[in-house]
Structure 1
Amino acid sequence: MKNHIETSKIQKMFRILLAIFMLYAGFSHLTFNRIEFQSQVPDWMPFSKDLVVILSGIVEMIIGLALLFWKRQRVNTGWLLALFFVIVFPGNVAQYVEGRDAFSVLDSDRARLIRLFFQPVLIAWAVWSTGAWKAWRISKETENA
């Protein structure tokens, strides 16, 4: 599979937006929302909640920077980000199941449930805006030709 696929201007714009979102989220993990993010770490995690929040914040910032600057690995970065969103999803589910409030907007079961439906949107956003989905489709077409 190719690591670089040309993307449209709209994809580029959405990729940059996603990168900024990831950088902001990562920075907030390490600073002003650190305690809030700890509420999303399930109790069954074998590490301290603070360590999980710090490490996930660092990963978010690295991926955000890669989305902005590592053009040659954009497709792989898109898949990596999609995988990251899958990996953190159990934390969102745990927050819903355990009824943990966070960020003053996730303060009801309804709000926490609605949030769960945004994870597939984030996954799709990552693979579409980076050209990862297109690269995968092209590789399948080439494989079948």
Structure 2
Amino acid sequence: MPRSQRSPLLLAGLLATAGVAHFANPRQFDALVPSALPGKPRTWTYASGAVELALAAGVALPRTRRTAALATAAFFVGVFPANVKMAVDWRDRPAPQKAAALGRLPLQLPLVLWARNVANNGKGRA
């Protein structure tokens, strides 16, 4: 299978894995929810996990791939504040944890670009 055909499936797999993780271990995600958001962090954790699962399904299916991939790019932008919160909250942790939190920040850009690329490669396909 050519790389261009694997890319959407890999993105769908990443989204599905992250979505399942939100339900399997919600406590770690609750801590990332910015306090400015209304409601309980667990609600946001489950909601974002459900969105990731829905996006995964949409990206995996050729018929919905373009729209879902564009929504995925927007989702990656939308969750960036949680990554910033993690980096701030983890600034006093041991170096490996701090590095992981800081490393997530620049990773958002390639994720957004990947999703946009999947959307653009899905043009005109049914």
Runs (4+) off by over 3 Å = none
Q: Which structure ranks higher in relative contact order (CA pairs < 8 Å, sequence separation ≥ 6)?
A: 1
Using the alignment, how far apart are the partners of 2:17 and 2:91 within structure 1?
22
Count of aligned residue pairs for this structure pair: 121
Please, which runs of 5 or more residues in structure 1 have no aligned partner? Answer: 1-7, 136-145
Q: Which digits, 9 at most, give the CA deviation of each residue in 1:47-81, with x for residues without a partner?
A: 21100000000000000011112x22321111100
In 2 relative to 1, CA 74–121 (structure 1 residues): closer, same or farther, beyond 3 Å?
same
In 2 relative to 1, CA 75–38 (structure 1 residues): closer, same or farther, beyond 3 Å?
same
In the TM superposition, residue 9 of structure 1 has moved relative to its aligned partner by 2.9
TM-score (norm 2): 0.85
Kindly indicate whether the alpha-carbon contact (under 8 Å) linking 1:42 and 1:95 is maintained by their aligned counterparts in 2: no
Q: How well do the aligned residues superpose, as a CA RMSD in angstroms? A: 2.2
- Aligned-residue sequence identity (percent) comes to 31
Which one has the largest radius of gyration? Answer: 1
TM-score (norm 1): 0.75
Whether 2:20 is the aligned partner of 1:27: answer: yes
Structure 2 residue identity aligned to 1:82 = A
